Amino acid sequence: MVDVPPPDTRLTRLLLGPALPTSADRHERLSNPEALAILSSDALSSVAYATEEMVKVLLPVAGIAAFALSVPLSGVVILLLVTLIVSYRQTIRAYPNAGGAYIVTRDNFGLVPAQVAGVALLTDYITSVAVSISAGVAAMYSQFPALFAYRVPISVAFIWLITCGNLRGIRMTGRLFATPTYLFLLAVSALLAVGGLRALTGGLHPLPPPGGIVLPPETTAVGVLVVLHAYASGTTALTGVEAISNGVTAFRPPEASNAVRVLMWMGAILAASFAGITLLAWRVHPIPTAKKTLVSELGGAIFGNGSIGRSGQLALQITTTGILVLAANTSYSDFPRLASFHAGDGYLPRPLRRRGRRLVFSTGILTLAGASTMIVVALGASVHRLIPLYAVGVFASFTFSQAGMSIRHWRRREEHWRRGLAINATGAVGSGFALVVVAVAKFERGAWVVILLVPVVATVFVAIHRHYERTDRRLADLDAPEQRVDAVVVVARRGGATDAARRWAAAVQPGNVALLSPRRLARRLPDPRHPGDRVLVAGAGHRLRRRLARRPGVAFVSLSRPGWEDVSAARHAVLVVAGETVGLSRRAVALARALAPADLHAAYVELDPERTAAIVDGWHRLGAGVALEVLPSPYREPGGPVAAKVRALHEDGADVVSVVMADVVPRWWQRPLYSSDARVVRAAVASVPRTVVVEDPVPL
């Protein structure tokens, strides 16, 4: 067992904190209060705009009667909320390792339908960040109107501020962002308590319409389509309900029991807050404007104009801004985890499977931040324009999840299956009806974008999967004839790097060493005379590597910086790093033997423990004649374990160690699908004296 130091630099340690080993995973789990703040913030924050969205639809048609009509509509929304809460309680019990729409649909309908469910949910998470941040900024300029002109840059700044917080780890995020959630709940509780008390004592009166706003005559004779549109807008209060079932693994043990408990807390708080704000709006008639939200108008009317009232109003707006901005944490917790599920099944780029230095899926977090930033900029941080994009994805995922659970009950017929079937079937019908209403009512207002986007993106996911299948089959059958180093070409550059390369080349291939400038290299590079011949190019830069990577018989050599003063009588050891497929390992072994080492070693860096057994079995079938050592990677990256093994080989008497790897070279449009482990290894061993990385590129 070799000791692997953390992959820390001063800058990353300052910005993100020290790297966490995989063994620290359980210590990074969330307590129930932290989980309520992180995984429920999206759902809880929606009470700040759900009633407003209903009222905005009804006001132009019904006038002041819009507030009375919103009360029964909110009752229907709460009824659907109760159904979904009970349904997801069933889901968490059935899938204690994460039971979101993707996992449930994959298990009960198959992989391809699961992509549609997953895309719908991923889309919802992206738009959820955009809506939450934009609504938070709207609460800011409701209190400080001068900020309205700067709403887009402020929104973008908030997105990337939260991104930085989430890159620091889930436990750190819980500590940073839990307090604003509870302050918001305290402020809403105060609003409801004071408003209820004033209503009971007769001190709460309707507000006059703001100046310049002309409302139609009051009427309750509203068309069915308008009512359905208002209902669809009100269902935004349900977004984020699924987040807890997706994030069960983030809880402390017992995970499923704690997740169910927090789910029930969230449902009760959400129902009470949504109902209370809607009832108070019915009494006060707060009419929202472009620069002032309904909750802001409501707070001003309830708390009053005195010094205490103005302080209460300010506290309400500050905490509303905080919860709306931090509601994006729900998406930051679940989007990367869901993307890793897709990537693990081969439907999204495989780098999304790996957790970063702080035990979070860093690539997924950055992907979410980039996508939500583009949406905010494109739609001008307008909550009303973003809402139609928001609800389609969430209700599609609700429907898939509940329908999948219904199929599960019907097939397995476990104990109490009839009750479970009734609950989940009711949830499927209710969320399916809401999906149809949202799609129809908001189609022309932007829902068509998501309706079109989901199948298109799902098709892209399937195309990615087919690419991986073709590539894996090709790499598994990759041929590797007996190889011979035909020539070593050293790229002539100024400084000691060229001298070191020449010394190493002379030790490995004393009979055929050439020194060429970068410009002359491409024209005068020797062509291999036999299929197994290799021309080793030492000292090539990134651009030159890309030009030569598809040339037959070319392999690249990278040398560490120190210790090349004298290698004339060096004891040469070679370490083969096993690839993800048998074909890559076969190529690496053949090239390693061509270097004629005194000692030959082989190792596999265990980045994914679930793949270890398959890699070891493939190595045995390869018949390489050398034992494969499995190197644990406590920080989930290949560079540290390889560098530690190289140091151990030096300590065992090797003067020069060459690390040999075979790595795929994708075309430019395929690069997001692959991670360059060879580049990480080169960087890790760059400071180890007398060490070489030899890469055999395999073009795709």
DSSP secondary structure of 433-473: HHHHHHHHHTIIIIIHHHHHHHHHHHHHHHHHHHHHHHHHH
Q: What is the DSSP letter of 48?
A: G
Q: How far apart are CA 582 and CA 691, in angstroms?
A: 25
| Residue 512, pLDDT score | 64
Phi-psi domain of 52 (left: phi exceeds 0; alpha: psi -120 through 50; beta: other): alpha
Q: What was the pLDDT predicted at 403?
A: 92
Q: How far apart are CA 335 and CA 344, in angstroms?
A: 14
How many Å apart are CA 232 and CA 439, to the nearest integer? 9
Closest CA to 83 of 364, 453, 427, 590: 427
As a whole number of angstroms, the distance between CA 231 and CA 234 comes to 5
Q: Are the CB atoms for 446 and 452 separated by under 8 Å?
A: no
CA distance 647 to 654: 9
Question: The CATH number of 495-508+540-699 is which of 3.40.50, 2.40.160, 1.10.3470, 2.170.140?
Answer: 3.40.50
In contact, 342 and 352? CB cutoff 8 Å: yes
pLDDT at 567: 63
For the chain, give every domain's residue range.
Answer: 10-468, 495-508+540-699
Q: Report the alpha-carbon angle 543-547-551, nearest 5.
A: 145
Whole-model pTM: value is 0.85
Q: Residue 525's pLDDT is what? A: 67
**Which tokens go with 317?**
């707006």
Q: pLDDT averaged over consecutive 10-residue blocks of the chain (700 residues)?
A: 73 80 77 85 84 89 89 92 90 80 90 90 88 84 85 92 85 72 91 91 83 73 82 83 83 89 94 94 87 86 84 86 81 88 92 87 94 92 77 83 91 87 88 85 78 90 94 84 75 63 67 66 65 78 82 85 66 89 89 87 89 88 87 90 93 89 90 88 89 90
What pLDDT sits at residue 17? 80
Annotation: CATH topology of 10-468: Amino acid/polyamine transporter I (1.20.1740)
Q: List the one residue out of 82, 186, 140 whose CA is nearest residue 381.
A: 140
- Decide whether 10-468 matches 495-508+540-699 in CATH topology: no
Q: What is the pLDDT of residue 507?
A: 64
* pLDDT value, residue 494: 55
pLDDT for 529: 65
The helix/strand/coil state of 626 is coil
Q: Give the model's pLDDT for residue 430.
A: 85
- pLDDT at position 630 is 93
